[in-house]
Every structure is written in C-alpha cells, then in structure tokens.
Amino acid sequence: MELRVLVLPGDGIGPEVTAEAMGVLRRVADLFGHFVHAVDGLIGGAAIEAAGAPLPPESLQAARDADAVLLGAVGAPRFDGLPPDQRPERGLLALRQALGTFANLRPSRAWPTLLDASPLKNAVVEGTDLLIVRELTSGLYYGTPRGITGSGPGERAVNTLSYTREEIERVARVAFHLARGRRRHVTSVDKSNVLENSQLWRRVVTEVASDYPDVTLDHLLVDNCAMQLIVNPRRFDVVLTENLFGDILSDEAAVLSGSIGMLASASIGERRSSGLRAGLYEPVHGSAPDIAGRNIANPLGAIGSVAAMLAYTFELHAEARAIEAAIDQVVASGRLTADLKPAARAATTSEVGQAVRDAIAAPCSMLPAPRPLIPGPRSLIPDP
C-alpha cells in the first residue's frame, strides 16, 4: 500500500520527535511491504518565519492531498506577544477544522515499569487504562463572536462556547463505539450545573447512549472529574468531553503515564473520497521549548501517533500492533529519555527511536502481547 503522509514537524521538539516517528514508520513499512510517500510542510512558528503565516496555503493544500498528517508541535515563546489570530497555535486549530477531525482520541495508561515515574502513588496509578475522547473542532476554541474590544477599565474579552446537537452526537458515537472495544463504559464530562451548553451536551449524550445498551454511561462534572483522575483513575474507561475540558483533562491524565512525552493522539474525521478516514496524528505534548534542540525529548508519544495513523487512517492493524509492541518492549527494557529516568542514565531521543526500530525488527510472534495504545478494529469507528 502507498502511505501518503504529510509531515508537519512544527516548532521546538517537534522536528526531533517526528524524525524518529517517521523512521519507525519507514521501518514498519519496509517490513510489511508498504511504500511511504512523505512530504514535509510548514506549520506554526516555523511557518510564520518562513512564509508569514501559521498555516500557509501550501501546507493546507498538502494536508488535503495527503492521506494522513503527522504533526510535531507548534508554539514558541518568541511568538507569545502576537495577537491570537497570528500565533503558531492558530495554524493547528485551522488545520484541525479544515480536515474535519472532530474526534480527538487520547489514550493514557500506566506502564508497569513506569509506575515510579508518576508523582502519584503506585497503588493509585497501577492498572490505569483510559481513553479520552475530546471534541476537537467546535466549542470555545472556535466559537464566535470572539476578541478583545475597548480599552481602560471597560476593556472586554469575549469567547463563545457553542455546540450543536449534531456536533455532540457525532463525537459521542465515536466514544460509544470505542467503548465497545474496551470495558464498555463511557463517562461523559460536563459542567451542566452551571452551563446551558453542558445541559445540551448531557441530554444529547444520554440520548445517544440508548443506541448502545451494552455500554454503561455515567456523567461527571468537570471539576469532580479532575479530582477523580488522580484519586481513582482506574474508575475510567472512556472519558467523553468537549474541547476545552478535554484539552485540560488529557494533560492531567499524562501524570498517570509518568510523562506527557509518552502520550499519543489521533484526531479523526469522516471518510474521504479515497475511502480512507481523515486523520491528524500528533503527540499530546507541546513544543517543549525548555528542552528543544538537545536530543533529550521523549519520542514515544510521536511514535505511538504513527501507530494510531496506521490503525485509523490506513487500517493496517498488524502494522500498528507491531509498533505498539515495540514501544512496550523498549519501555520494559528501561531504555528511556530523561523525563522518565535520571539524566545521567537516560537515553537520547534518537537512541530511543533506534531502539523502537530495532524492536520492530524482531519477529512479531516473539514480542510480548501488546496492549493496544489505540484500541479497536475498524468496525468500532462509526461510518457517517
């Protein structure tokens, strides 16, 4: 199969981790007889500097032409003073919207050998295995009117939190379908005691649940969910929530895995005319300017995102599992970057990438049984 991938390395550690992830993709493609057709593009601060915009038209067109997009991260302190609509992050928001990737899947689990890397007690995190399904193309990040007006004491900032029934329903269906491939439980997170928006969210999710009688549903207020994630994370299977809450809760969930560098994500939309599902794949972390350019960033979140790409866009599940198994093997071997072990004994970004490539070289039957990072066969994701 030809895998047409647009790579948008972006800023900070983005180029370092995407280089390792692409190396892993090429390795698995070689092994399984696929051809990677990769094109590099600009996004974020790198695009502002080279082309004057956070998402140049060429990058947008290349994203539409590719089957899948692998993104590193966007953002750098030197752009923090720019108006919101010119900042690097705006390029990413525009890309997500243009690709229609409305469901962001963010798994978080506790690797047995990484329990000590979490600031939480081992007994709390052990056995954690949850999937956050975050709505990605609506809500507060996109609502209008928005902006800052006036001056002096009357200066005023407005953002709009808006969801349609249709937007809630389609992401809820993704969550319920995915729960069927897991422990069949969905926790919907909202703030319905205060926000009308959340009241509609809760009502629509409850209605959708009636189509999935084999999946149980409970509702949590977002403040309580934030607490339960660190008090009792094992209570969660699939967490379904809107854009802003999902952004915040998934960073919090990173502490369960030991490092945000471990977390992969898949942003998926509907099938395109090619028959393949639209997909934007990126690690959960940002551009980490504090460690950029030093070859010490953890590349496993980016590498896991390539596994998700193989599963969700290309529907190459054996290939995806081979990467997940290789990640598990490398984690178990203790070959880890400095976010997970003392710097003096840590491996570099490129050494961890090489270790994953080497682990993929082993016959799959010899590898330990993988626990899928992104669960579920194709049939678990609803077609429109």
CA terminus-to-terminus distance, the chain:
24
Instruction: Kindly indicate which of the ranges 209-217, 232-240, 259-267, 355-363 contains the residues binding ligand NAD, using the contact rule CB under 6 A.
Output: 259-267
Give 162: exposed, middle or buried? Use CB within 10 Å, 0-12, 13-18, 19+.
middle
Dihedral sign, Cα of residue 82, residue 88, residue 91, residue 96: negative
The residues pairing with 108 across neighbouring beta strands, listed in sequence order, are 130
Site mask, ligand NAD, residues 299-338, x = CB under 6 A?
A: --x-----------------------------------x-
> Does 288 contact ligand NAD by CB under 6 A?
yes
Amino acid at 161: L
Any catalytic annotation for residue 223? yes
Please tell me the count of residues contacting ligand NAD according to CB under 6 A: 24
The phi, psi pair for 36, rounded to 5°, reads: -95, 120
Q: How far apart are CA 339 and CA 241, in angstroms?
A: 28
Q: Which of 260, 336, 373, 374 binds ligand NAD (CB under 6 A)?
A: 260
- Window 338-367: residues binding ligand NAD (CB under 6 A): 339
Least Å distance, CB 205 to ligand NAD, is 26
CB 67 within 8 A of CB 6: no
Q: How far apart are CA 4 and CA 67, in angstroms?
A: 5
Q: Which of 170, 219, 277, 285 binds ligand NAD (CB under 6 A)?
A: 285
Any catalytic annotation for residue 85? no
Q: How far is the CA of 202 from the CAs of 48, 198, 205, 228, 296, in angstroms?
A: 40, 6, 5, 19, 42
Q: How far apart are CA 166 and CA 141, in angstroms?
A: 18
Any catalytic annotation for residue 141? yes
Residue closer to ligand NAD by CB (options 59, 259) is: 259
CB 163 within 8 A of CB 195: no
Residue closer to ligand NAD by CB (options 290, 383) is: 290
Task: Catalytic residue, from 11, 67, 190, 247: name it.
Answer: 247
Q: Which of 101, 188, 243, 287 binds ligand NAD (CB under 6 A)?
A: 287
Structure tokens at 236: 């969660």
Structure tokens at 203: 């009502």
Residue 363: CB atoms within 10 A of its CB come to 8
Residue closer to ligand NAD by CB (options 208, 326) is: 326
Task: Catalytic residue, from 67, 163, 190, 191: name it.
Answer: 191
- Window 9-28: residues binding ligand NAD (CB under 6 A): 13, 17
Any catalytic annotation for residue 191? yes
Q: Which of 9, 139, 286, 304 binds ligand NAD (CB under 6 A)?
A: 286
Residue closer to ligand NAD by CB (options 343, 369) is: 343
Any catalytic annotation for residue 339? no
Residue closer to ligand NAD by CB (options 197, 243) is: 243
CB 252 within 8 A of CB 287: no
> Does 298 contact ligand NAD by CB under 6 A?
yes
Give 35: exposed, middle or buried? Use CB within 10 Å, 0-12, 13-18, 19+.
exposed
CB 263 within 8 A of CB 250: yes
Residue closer to ligand NAD by CB (options 229, 316) is: 229
Active site residues: 141, 191, 223, 247, 251
Q: Which residues bind ligand NAD (CB under 6 A)?
A: 13, 17, 73-76, 89, 92, 259-261, 282, 285-291, 297-298, 301, 337, 339
